Chains A and B, each alone.
Chain A
């Protein structure tokens, strides 16, 4: 199981307090969406879960153990950009994790070990819908395909926790809806806990089992430096979603996402569109 316990965590950069007194328990196999205004420290919080940054005060426990101070294979990540390696093909990108784990010095696999790794990688590539693109480089893929690749690359490590930093923020709504469906399926089929930072409320409520809002309770200019953001809302989705379980309450809600109304980037829906 992969329960995350965050206890009284503070993050300060010098005098600037970014996060104050964050306490949160993320159940195993939960899907938590972190929302909040820009610059409120959601991404900082995610980087702390990743091990890229460290809490100034407080502790973070994964399965009861303090979090290692470095990024490790037990926590996978997908960023909004730069998540895949431009110099490797789709297959090479997915294979990389296998090679790094199995071959300490050469970081390359040969012979039967390589063939079985390729087999596994191909399966995962097919699962995220990239079959046929194995020999392409990321620069030849669309934004949505790159993010699918980034997911496959992270999932081959079978991480306990998957961390997503606005992974679908740069995608157009149609592509985003498709990748939401994929994300939901992957979450249902694997054993991992997911923590996702997003700006998109619709995305948060479509995917998550729980939505956590970060906000600065005191946000006047003179207060900004000495008061950080904290958790102001913690909403559990009802009726509850559970990984791997079919929802009897609203099967259509947890089914594929259908777009309603005008798209976000539709010029006619913008305030300046009525010229």
Chain B
């Protein structure tokens, strides 16, 4: 049988899914054990007891200086910035993207501009943001928006343009005005794509968030990682990275579930 025609059974699928994760953890455990055997005080690859210690200290014991539970206060600070940034980007992208996709005049006006803006490296703008908006929350949220919104606008504009012309014409023969067609035909078909678009931008959004927090902040997951780097505290950095990853994976999963629950037809289309 050809390789392209062999398919794993359900059990095999589950095993294959878990395999890379197990291998990664096993490889780390082996590396950590080897280094700790050579030097019991090695800080580069702490063992799982070290991680448990660090997690316990950060998540369940108050910080001696501030009295905060650091993991949770960092998470709250970071998520607030992340969702504020993503929220602003989402609304902007929806409004501007749909308008570009539907109206030829706005398309002529904005498409090249957005294409150029989306090529500006956002991190290069970070110093300007800090100078103009100060070191507070605004500059960090602005960085996420600048980094994420242009791509989302382009994606949604393309998606609105991709709607078959037949559908728009059909809606016109049903008496729809531009506004009504936007509201009843384009918007509902763009929303599932918007959710997918947010999911794809989660990675870049976290990147910009951590970059901003690393440079100037007094709380946040990125801030903590870059703070404890000075003490080679790998026992803190690794759990924080795992936690950020988990948060991103969860957000991704929840957003997709929302799409399926609210727009059941979008899932039917995929299967069809």
Contacts and interface: CB of A to CB of B under 8 A. Distances in A.
B264 interface: yes
B15 to A, nearest CB: 33
A140 B268 contact: yes
B164 A82 contact: yes
B269 A77 contact: no
B170 to A, nearest CB: 6
Contacts of A101: 174-175
Contact of B167 (A82, A97, A108): A82
A89 to B, nearest CB: 8
B183 A71 contact: no
Contacts of A83: 166-167, 170
B249 to A, nearest CB: 28
A139 B173 contact: no
A227 interface: no
A73 B173 contact: yes
A192 interface: no
Contacts of B164: 81-82
Contacts of B165: 52
B171 interface: yes
A124 to B, nearest CB: 13
A139 B269 contact: yes
Interface in A56-113: 70-73, 75-77, 79, 81-88, 96-97, 99-101, 104-108
B169 A71 contact: yes
Interface residues of A, number: 37
A19 interface: no
B137 to A, nearest CB: 37
Interface of A, helix, strand, loop or mixed by DSSP: loop
Interface stretch (A24-32, A153-161, A197-205, A267-275): A153-161
Nearest to B265: A137
Nearest to A52: B169
Contacts of B272: 139
Interface in B129-169: 164-167, 169
Contact of B174 (A50, A106, A140, A153): A153
A100 B265 contact: no
B269 A81 contact: no
Given A85-B167, A86-B189, A107-B180, A137 B268 contact: yes
A107 B184 contact: yes
A157 B268 contact: no
B153 to A, nearest CB: 22
B189 A107 contact: no
B269 A73 contact: no
B173 A79 contact: no
A237 to B, nearest CB: 27
B188 interface: yes
A100 B173 CA distance: 10
B263 A73 contact: no
Nearest to A103: B180
Nearest to B190: A87
B218 interface: no
B265 A76 contact: no
Given A71-B169, A77-B170, A87 B265 contact: yes
B186 to A, nearest CB: 10
Interface in B159-207: 164-167, 169-177, 179-180, 183-185, 188-189
A153 B185 CA distance: 14
B189 A76 contact: no
Interface in A124-154: 137-140, 150, 153-154
Contact of A137 (B170, B176, B183, B264): B264
Contacts of A70: 172
A83 B272 CA distance: 16
B185 A104 contact: no
A81 B166 contact: yes
Interface of B: 164-167, 169-177, 179-180, 183-185, 188-189, 263-266, 268-269, 271-272
Given A86-B268, A107-B184, A137-B264, 20 more contacts: A70-B172, A73-B175, A76-B173, A79-B166, A82-B170, A83-B167, A84-B170, A85-B167, A85-B170, A86-B269, A87-B263, A96-B174, A101-B174, A106-B183, A107-B183, A108-B184, A137-B265, A139-B269, A157-B173, A157-B174
